[in-house]
Amino acid sequence: MWCSRVSLRRLQRIVVAPLNTSSPVISMQRAKSTLPRVYVTRRVPPEGLRILNESGQVQYELWDSDDPVPRQELLKRVRGVDGLVCVLTEKIDAELLDAAGPNLRVLSTMSVGYDHLSLDELKKRGIRVGYTPDVLTDAVAELTVALLLTTSRRLIEATHEAKTGGWGTWRTMWLCGYELANSTVGILGLGRIGVAIAERLKPFKVKKFIYTDVAPRPELASMIQAEYVSMEELAKQSDFLAICCAFTPETKEICNKKLFSQMKNTSVFINTSRGGVVNQEDLYEALSSGQIAAAGLDVTTPEPLPTDHPLFTLKNCVILPHVASASYSTRNAMSALAANNLLAGLSGEPMPKELKL
Give the CA distances from residue 126 to residues 106, 116, 269, 350, in Å, rounded to whole numbers and listed in that order. 9, 18, 40, 15
**Three-state SS for 162?**
helix
Confidence (pLDDT) at 10: 39
Relative to beta strand 106-109, strand 208-212 is: unpaired
Confidence (pLDDT) at 32: 56
Predicted structure pTM score: 0.86
Q: pLDDT digits over 284-302, tens only?
A: 999 999 999 999 999 999 9
Alpha-helical runs (H) found in the chain: 5-11, 24-34, 46-55, 71-77, 94-100, 119-124, 137-152, 155-164, 192-201, 218-224, 231-237, 257-262, 280-288, 328-346
Cα separation, 51 vs 211, in Å, equals 39
Cα separation, 289 vs 298, in Å, equals 22
Cα separation, 64 vs 42, in Å, equals 6
Q: pLDDT digits over 138-180, tens only?
A: 999 999 999 999 999 999 999 999 999 999 999 999 999 999 9
Question: For the chain, how are helix, strand and coil distributed in percent, rounded to 5?
Answer: 40, 15, 45
Confidence (pLDDT) at 15: 43
4 Cβ contact list (under 8 Å, min separation 6): none
Cα separation, 97 vs 86, in Å, equals 13
Confidence (pLDDT) at 284: 98
Judge whether 116 counts as a catalytic residue: no
Closest Cα partner for 217 from 278, 142, 275, 209?
209
End-to-end CA distance of the chain: 36
Across the chain, mean pLDDT equals: 92
Alpha-helical runs (H) found in 204-311: 218-224, 231-237, 257-262, 280-288
Confidence (pLDDT) at 2: 35
**Residue 218's Cα: distance from chain center in Å?**
26
- Residue of 116, 160, 309, 322 marked active site: 322
Confidence (pLDDT) at 28: 40
Contact by Cβ (8 Å): 320, 312: no
Confidence (pLDDT) at 33: 62
**Three-state SS for 303?**
coil
**Three-state SS for 256?**
coil
Segment-wise mean pLDDT, segments of 10 residues, the chain, 357 residues: 36 40 39 84 97 97 96 98 97 98 98 94 98 96 98 98 95 97 98 97 98 97 98 98 95 98 98 98 98 98 97 98 97 98 98 97
Confidence (pLDDT) at 285: 98
Taking phi first (over 0 means left), then psi (-120 to 50 degrees means alpha), and beta for anything else, what does residue 299 get? Answer: beta
